[in-house]
Amino acid sequence: MFLPILTVTAALFIGLSDGLKWSLGFCPEPALQSSFDIDQYVGTWYEIARDKNIIFEYGDCTQARYTKMDDGKVQVFNTLMNPVTENVDSAKAVAKCNGAHCKVKFFLFYNGDYRIVSTDYTNYSIVYSCTNVLFFKVEAVWILGRTETLDASLLATIQSTIDTNVPKYGLDRLYYPEQGGSCNYHS
């Protein structure tokens, strides 16, 4: 009896500490990028938008670098500019992908959900993440770009794709971090 209670409590604590918005219900299964090609996907991406409730992503000038390793996994190197210290903070991880659905391991015991809903490989990527805990779900969306900014018409198309594929998400949950200009990216 004690072990299930401890497990649920630990899961709730881990999820709540992430700062993401919890809601009643189960994770949807949005259509993912068909015929996903990891070789075209790896490289440098800039964060155009992210869920504003992700507390471990607290800065601007956010960049992700993905490198395919010999074993087929993907090395992840994320950076952002810390608003307090104005230093570039970083985090490393390893992702294991099954098509467009990846599990990203940042910590010893935590595999983050990373689903590529749509990408054209050269301009944008829409990433969705969702985890079920009991009768609740915690979800997030990222919009990534190969350049520091996206054209307004492309961004509108991306937002429409999010509305279609993850209809209950709500674009008002997105934060658009500062990119370009005063950013100091990790070299």
Q: Domain containing 164 — which CATH number?
A: 2.40.128.20
pLDDT surpassing 50 at residue 14 = no
- Is 160 domain-assigned? yes
- Is 88 domain-assigned? no
What are the tokens at 29? Answer: 């299964």
- Is 52 domain-assigned? yes
157 is in which domain, residue-wise? 2-64+114-175
Contacts 24+ apart (CB under 8 A), 118-122: 118/33, 118/158, 118/161, 118/165, 119/33, 119/36, 119/41, 121/37, 121/40, 121/41, 122/146
Q: How far is CA 166 from the centre of its chain?
A: 14
Total number of domains constituting the chain: 1
Nearest to 74 by CA among 99, 48, 110: 99
Please tell me the pTM assigned to this model: 0.87
Rg (CA), the chain: 17
- Is 76 domain-assigned? no
Q: 37-88 pLDDT, tens per residue?
A: 999 999 999 999 999 988 778 899 999 999 999 999 999 999 999 989 989 9
- The Cα 38–Cα 35 span in angstroms is 10
- Is 119 domain-assigned? yes
Q: 126-138 pLDDT, tens per residue?
A: 999 999 999 999 9
- Is 147 domain-assigned? yes
Nearest to 132 by CA among 30, 28, 32: 28
